[in-house]
Amino acid sequence: MNSFYMPVRVLEGKDIVISSTNLLKKFGKIALLVTGKHSAKANGSYNDVITALDNVDIEHILYDDIEENPSVETIMKARDFALRQNVDFVIGIGGGSPLDAAKAISLMIYHKDEDKDYLYKTGSDSSHVPLVLIPTTCGSGSEATAVSVLTLHEKQTKKSISHLIFAELALIDGKYLMTLPHKTLCSTAIDAFTHMVESYINTKASDYSNMCVEKGLLIWSRSLDVLRGSRELTIDDCDNLMRASMMGGMSIAQCGTTIPHGLSYSLTYKKHIAHGMAVGYFTAGYLAKANQIDAKHILNLAGFKDVADYQSFFTEIYKACDIPDIDDDVLYGAVEDVLKTPVKLEITPYEVSRQDLIDIAFYSCYGA
Ligand SMILES: [Fe+2]
């Protein structure tokens, strides 16, 4: 069976937040703005949201204490804060962390008498208060997906909550990328690339999801030289990278992430490596074991000749980002994490043994 479900209303364009004022009115009278500490204020997105809300007399309160890879504890703190302020709806602004947090907070505001265990209670009601998402990085695609990944300190890793939460509205404006540090631009762009790779090399891939992947990779490839640092970023690059990220989100919302994402979580938790770089670390190994016609097809669309070409691009960026070496025990731990998450293996379209996972995990160190 083929299916495609993406119920988020997506509006994209210059100054789209301000021109969408009237759409926000239907969500209620008091909005909770969920952001990280600084970037939403630095890139202008916070000001645009305030202007839009003030224009239609919607009250707003700010929760700007969302850390990178937000924890369950942060979600509960934000939820309790929102309940004290009688919030009607949530606006998440930022990269994957604030957007994923906003989804979980919108769920827990609706289920106001539940405690943190509800986030991981399978089969329970996933109703949530209305949710608007405004991405300011070009990687997570969270604005198009229903997934919210949180940090579980007691398990020393990250894990998706048990609820699928699609936003009512996503507002996309490439201008917010213009002030993004180059390292963050690279890391998040690589995350978008991996979403498209893992959607294509996936048992759930269909012509519908591949439509997003193939077009998204072509759009993504237009800014490859910017990521390499050989050309200045333009507003067209920003629009393209933001759109490719959205298409990565749309495809991953259908297919789910596979082995590279599964391997990445403990790198991020234990070595504090940015999500996109942690996932991209395993992409060459994942592609090297895939059907080579499929691998070459998507690599060519993205502007790479073959797996080795992608690997050398990634290594160049990885070194430029000053990422520390990864100890063998962290990589072996990442393999064990994936073995405990059978769904990642089930949607991988080739047989994967423990040794195959080790090969993928160590591919970046030793190559083919
Ligand atoms: Fe990702």
pLDDT greater than 90 at residue 77: yes
- Give the distance (Å) from ligand 1 centre to CA of residue 123: 24
* Per-residue pLDDT at 88 exceeds 90: yes
CA–centroid distance, residue 291 to ligand 1 (Å) = 22
Q: Which of 128, 30, 38, 130 is nearest to 81 (CA)?
A: 30
**pLDDT of amino acid 366:** 61
- Tell me, in angstroms, the distance from the centre of ligand 1 to residue 280's CA: 9
Weakest mean pLDDT among 19-23, 101-105, 128-132: 19-23
Three-class DSSP category at 239:
helix
Mean pLDDT of the chain: 95
Contact 35, 93 (CB under 8 A): yes
Say yes or no: do domains 9-175 and 182-366 share a fold.
no
Beta-strand runs (E) in the chain = 9-12, 30-34, 59-63, 89-94, 131-135, 149-152, 157-160, 169-172
- CA of residue 140 to ligand 1 center, whole Å: 5
Q: How many CB atoms lie within 10 A of CB 154?
A: 6
Flag the least confident range among 82-96, 278-292, 300-314, 319-333: 319-333
Between the CA of 261 and the centroid of ligand 1 the distance, in Å, is: 6
- What span, in angstroms and rounded, lies between the C-alpha atoms of 165 and 313? 34
Tokens linked to 56 = 């239609």
Q: What is the pLDDT at residue 368? A: 46
The arithmetic mean of pLDDT across residues 52-68, rounded, is: 97
What is the 17 CA–ligand 1 centroid distance (Å)?
25
Ligand 1 geometric centre to CA of 53 (Å): 30
Q: Is the pLDDT of residue 105 over 50?
A: yes
Strand order in the sheet with 59-63: 9-12, 169-172, 131-135, 89-94, 30-34, 59-63
pLDDT at res. 158 = 81
Cα 57 to middle of ligand 1, angstroms = 36
Domain 182-366 belongs to what topology?
Dehydroquinate synthase-like, alpha domain (1.20.1090)
| 108 contact partners, CB below 8 Å, separation of at least 6 | 75, 76, 79, 114, 118, 119
Q: What percent of the chain has pLDDT over 70?
A: 99
Distance (angstroms) between ligand 1 centre and the Cα of 102 equals 17
CB-based contacts of 19, cutoff 8 Å, min separation 6? 13
Write out the CATH class of domain 9-175. alpha beta
Q: 312-352 pLDDT, tens per residue?
A: 999 999 888 878 888 999 999 999 999 998 899 999 999 99
Domain boundaries, the chain: 9-175, 182-366
pLDDT score recorded for residue 367? 56
* Section 24-41 average pLDDT: 95
* Residues 30-37, mean pLDDT to the nearest whole number: 97
Q: What is the pLDDT of residues 134-183, one digit of tens each?
A: 999 999 999 999 999 999 888 877 889 999 999 999 999 999 999 999 99
Ligand 1 center–CA 85 separation, angstroms: 32
Mean pLDDT computed over 226-251: 97
Are 108 and 114 contacting, i.e. CB atoms less than 8 angstroms apart? yes
pLDDT band, residue 2 (cuts 50/70/90)? confident
Distance of CA 262 from the midpoint of ligand 1 (Å): 10
One-letter amino acid of 93: I
Report the DSSP pairing between strands 169-172 and 9-12.
parallel
Q: How far is the centre of ligand 1, averaged over its atoms, from the C-alpha of 253 (Å)? A: 11
Kindly give the distance from the C-alpha atom of residue 197 to the centroid of ligand 1, in angstroms, as a whole number: 11
Characterize the bridge pairing of strands 157-160 and 149-152: antiparallel
